[in-house]
Amino acid sequence: MKKQIRNKGLLRGVICAALLFLTVSTASYGQSYSVKTDMLGLITGTLNGEASLALNDRWSLHLPVQYNPWNFTDDFKMKNLTVLPGVRYWQVQTYTTGYFFGLNGIVSRYNFAGLLAGDYRYDGMAYGLGLSAGYSIPMDVNWSMEFELGAGAVWSRRDKYPCERCGKKIEEQTGVWLVPDKVSISVVYYF
């Protein structure tokens, strides 16, 4: 029952972020829009997409969403629904060749086991802030590639289990962790 309540809260947060994004986009002038997908994320089975809006010559607003519903093996999974709304400052000009720096929020419902989690499974919610840096390379008038790395600090409440499918909950953990939140090579389309 508690997990259903948490999931409804995350869904409400995603809807509110999307409505905020649309509200801001209708009030902007001289805007340019883009959509993109992270190819590295797709390789890991994470379905993802991002919509963005140029606010002016140097600033853009972004709304990325990531979803991974898969169990890869009995002891490895990276299930998550993550939203990372944020802004970017472009060193030269929005959506052109050059470096950019980002600030983003983090909201994630996750269930990890294996690889990064070791011999444990962690199931919980995370909220936080992240910083990123990247580089954009236009390939055509409407297409570009972006490379981005970032990390964030998240507050999380999670349950810890001894393995992916078996065992009783070992403990409930609450704390702040430093996590990678952006590791991407993306293909971008501009409108």
Section 8-28 average pLDDT: 53
| pLDDT for residue 161 | 87
Per the CB < 8 A criterion, the answer to whether 112 and 125 are in contact is no
| pLDDT for residue 116 | 67
| pLDDT for residue 73 | 75
Q: Is the pLDDT of residue 11 over 90?
A: no
Q: Which is higher by pLDDT, 3 or 129?
A: 129
CA gap 161, 156 in Å, rounded: 16
| pLDDT for residue 20 | 52
Q: Is the pLDDT of residue 17 over 70?
A: no
| pLDDT for residue 163 | 76
pLDDT in tens, 27-66: 434 448 999 999 999 998 999 999 999 999 999 999 999 9
CA gap 42, 38 in Å, rounded: 6
Specify the number of domains making up the chain: 1
CA gap 118, 131 in Å, rounded: 26
Q: Is the pLDDT of residue 24 over 50?
A: no
| pLDDT for residue 70 | 86
| pLDDT for residue 6 | 54
Per the CB < 8 A criterion, the answer to whether 53 and 116 are in contact is no
| pLDDT for residue 75 | 73
Domain housing 84: 2-190
CA gap 34, 51 in Å, rounded: 6
Q: Is the pLDDT of residue 23 over 50?
A: no
Q: Is the pLDDT of residue 105 over 90?
A: yes
Closest CA to 156 of 180, 132, 172: 172
Task: List C-alpha distances in Å: 86 to 7, 18, 63, 98, 130.
Answer: 22, 12, 7, 19, 9
Nearest-Å Rg of the Cα atoms of the chain is 18
| pLDDT for residue 167 | 73
CA gap 169, 110 in Å, rounded: 16
CATH number at residue 178: 2.40.160
pLDDT in tens, 78-92: 899 999 999 999 999
Question: What percent of the chain shows pLDDT beyond 90?
Answer: 64
Q: Which is higher by pLDDT, 57 or 114?
A: 57
Q: CB-side exposure of 19: number of CA atoms within 13 Å?
A: 6
